[in-house]
Amino acid sequence: MSKPVVAIPCDFREFDGNVWHVAAHQYVRAAVEGAGLMVFLVPALEAGNDVDEILDRVDGVLASGARSNVHPSLYGREASEADGPFDPGRDATSLPLIRRALDRGVPLFAICRGIQELNVALGGTLASEIQEQPGIWDHRKPEVPDLDVAYGIRQDVVVKEGSCLAPVLGTGRVRVNSLHRQAIGAAAPRLAVEAVADDGTIEAVSVIGAKAFAVGVQWHPEYWVRTDAPSAALFKAFGDAARAYCESKAS
């Protein structure tokens, strides 16, 4: 059997006057080392990507985190400067890829921005600057130069009994590294809440009735996939789903 391939949508970024289609190394490394997959980076084009042609060639989709936010117009809100930064190319790439992957039963793992894309793609909304809401913690990434500190595992989430993540992570409390200033507002009708923080913030979801693994987490399992057991378990589950999908195509 050939090694399964995962598609990771890129971000569209500008550096020194040049524009680039980029993906953070931590997601690529986790897909290769933690899930045992090969990686196909999908350019962040506002037009020109053929979603079905892409999905014909891969065995999973990994929607990664990013510095940008989903544009509020995509979930029925007017945008303000505070909602940014935005990445129209990433939006135009990721959201159709997520929807069509679910239609076709291609395994999907959505992380940070990815879980927010998943929610918007299925008709949900996002809440901005959640740390300003009464009773909500400050989930933002600490402004420190040491990434190991910034991505430190410091917060509990509670995995619901009977959820699809329970066999992967167990039920009850799991320590994670959740770093975000936006979160799911109204959950899309097709999403089941899998885990929450103690302040009520939705930290993990799954797609109801999905044909394959279809999970989103607000935290960053990719960063500690080498050393943290829950992080490794999530990527192994995703990799196993991609291998099963690859085998089903071959047969």
What lies within 8 Å, CB to CB, of 81 at 6+ separation is none
Of 1.10.760.10, 3.40.50.880, 1.10.238.10, 3.40.1710.10, the CATH number of 5-250 is 3.40.50.880
The catalytically annotated residue of 10, 194, 222, 246 is 222
pLDDT tens digit sequence for 125-184 = 999 888 888 888 888 888 899 999 999 999 999 999 999 999 999 999 999 999 999 999
Q: Strand 172-176 and strand 5-9: pairing?
A: unpaired
Residue 232 has pLDDT above 90, yes or no: yes
pLDDT value at position 80? 86
DSSP 81: G
How distant, in Å, are the alpha carbons of 36, 69, 224 from that of 86? 31, 5, 27
194 carries an active-site annotation: no
25 carries an active-site annotation: no
The catalytically annotated residue of 71, 139, 180, 220 is 220
pLDDT tens digit sequence for 83-137 = 889 999 999 999 999 999 999 999 999 999 999 999 999 999 999 888 888 888 8
High-pLDDT (> 70) share of the chain, %: 100
- SS3 at position 164: coil
pTM of the model: 0.96
222 carries an active-site annotation: yes
pLDDT value at position 1? 62
The catalytically annotated residue of 10, 112, 164, 246 is 112
Q: Which residue, 208, 177, 201, 230, is CA-closest to 65?
A: 177
